[in-house]
Structure 1
Amino acid sequence: MKKGFVLVILFVFPIVAYLFFASGVNNFGRLPVLTKSVQDLTHFEGDVSLKDHITVLGFLGNNIDLKKGNAFNLNQKIYKRFGKFKDFQIVMVAPSDQESKVQDLKKELGKLSEIDKWYFTYGSSTEIKRLFNSLGTSLELDPDLGTPYVFIIDKEQNLRGRTDDEDEGVKYGFNTISVAELNNKMEDDVKIILAEYRLALKKNNADRSNK
């Protein structure tokens, strides 16, 4: 009897656990849409677009030296894990007069990893504020036009986040100062949205093959 119970634990439980979690991804693994139709980057310098990409969007502001630690955290905890996924990108917005500071930041990031999916784009203070406001969040830009928060934008230019976060309720963005938040929350949410698109792609391919 005891041996039978041990066998059940060793062989049956892992299968049940797998089916449970697989079911969870398919039925519950969708990241809520918080804001539809976030403004694209048409009016910004640089050939960058949110459309048809899974984007982590950030705002560097005028004090880029103070944001280097944030960028390094994001690179180590998010970009290194997801940067090789097709259509994934990190886009950082900066004021037009900060290009030399951005170049310094890019050089330092390049020492840590390949940065071919990091993009930097520049705009006026008016354009930056308009873009940020289009996110429709409860957050605000700092006086220097920056924020430590980054935002997940899907391929249809919708802001994705959490509606039932245990700490904030509605969670619009992720604080790059906090390694724990990047590890424990943002990483999970990026996984979910990537899985969502993979499942949609598999379904489309299956539908085509059945025609």
Structure 2
Amino acid sequence: MKKTLVLVVLFIFPLVAYLFFASGVNNFGKLPVLTPQVDNVVHLDKSVTLQNKITILGFLGSNVEKRKGNAFNLNQKIYKRFHEFNDFQLVMVVPIGQEEDVKKLKTELGQLSPVDKWNFVFASPDEIQSLFDSLKTNTSLDAQLGTPQVFIIDKDRNLRGRDDDEDLGTKYGFNTTSVADLNNKMEDDMKIILAEYRLALKKNNADRSK
């Protein structure tokens, strides 16, 4: 019995995990590029860049307290699951003047998980609007320059999403107000893009070893 259990743990579980990720990539293919080359944020904050990073990009707006629940949802359902992956980061763009509220939010988030990959970039209203416009989505920022939507940006600064979503057709972002949207859609799409980069890395390593 013990030998059987050991065999299952050593061989069956890894095989099931591999088939899960492989089938996800095969069924969905690569996560579609919806907008190429969105603007970078490095000119707003020299310590943060979207280039060569897998980024979740969001816009908190000037009422940080109002968006606190959204940040907690995102932290618990997405960030905690993926933050250990190399090159993963979360970037929240916030109007200048909200530094103290952001500091409080980051402290509260830090009580739930490490916050080393939570990045907050402060910018003027025009800079925030310009960055958001570069995403070329079918949504808009509210009067406080915020939105509950967050967006997946790949290492080449392309906005990734769905072009055949069963509910919206084209799905540019994910609603952090909705735990179901984070659990059922964003988590799947994050798995796909991470698997895509993993497979590309393995291929590059294999090519080098030839």
TM-score, structure 1 normalization: 0.88
Report the Cα offset of residue 43 of structure 1: 2.7
Q: Which residue of 2 aligns with 1:54?
A: 54
Structure-1 separation of matches of 2:158 and 2:33: 6
Per-residue CA shift, 1:70-123, capped at 9, x if unaligned?
Answer: 000000000110000000000000001111110010011001111111000100
Structure-2 separation of matches of 1:20 and 1:48: 33
Q: Which residue of 1 aligns with 2:11?
A: none
- Match of 1:75, SS state, is helix
Aligned: 1:108 with 2:108 = yes
Structure-2 separation of matches of 1:107 and 1:76: 15
Report the Cα offset of residue 27 of structure 1: 6.8
Give 2:40's aligned amino acid.
D
Q: Which residue of 1 aligns with 2:92?
A: 92
Give 1:116's aligned amino acid.
D
Structure-1 separation of matches of 2:203 and 2:156: 18
Q: Which residue of 1 aligns with 2:174?
A: 174
- Structure 2: which 5+ residue stretches go unaligned? 1-14
- Structure 1: which 5+ residue stretches go unaligned? 1-14
Report the Cα offset of residue 47 of structure 1: 1.1
Do the aligned partners of residues 96 and 206 (structure 1) sit closer, same or farther apart at CA in structure 2, a change above 3 Å counting? same
Do the aligned partners of residues 129 and 21 (structure 1) sit closer, same or farther apart at CA in structure 2, a change above 3 Å counting? closer
TM-score, structure 2 normalization: 0.89
Contact 1:43 1:123 in 2 (8 A): no
Q: Which residue of 1 aligns with 2:12?
A: none
Per-residue CA shift, 1:123-167, capped at 9, x if unaligned?
Answer: 000000000000010000001000000000000000000000011
Structure-2 separation of matches of 1:133 and 1:43: 16
**CA RMSD in angstroms, aligned pairs only:** 1.8
Percentage identity across aligned positions?
A: 68
Structure-1 separation of matches of 2:189 and 2:144: 28
Do the aligned partners of residues 167 and 45 (structure 1) sit closer, same or farther apart at CA in structure 2, a change above 3 Å counting? same
Report the Cα offset of residue 192 of structure 1: 0.3
- Match of 2:119, SS state, is strand
Structure-1 separation of matches of 2:71 and 2:171: 20
Do the aligned partners of residues 102 and 162 (structure 1) sit closer, same or farther apart at CA in structure 2, a change above 3 Å counting? same
Give 1:105's aligned amino acid.
L
Alignment length, in residue pairs? 195
Give 1:128's aligned amino acid.
I
Aligned: 1:32 with 2:25 = no
Q: Which residue of 2 aligns with 1:128?
A: 128
Give 1:76's aligned amino acid.
Q
Do the aligned partners of residues 170 and 208 (structure 1) sit closer, same or farther apart at CA in structure 2, a change above 3 Å counting? same
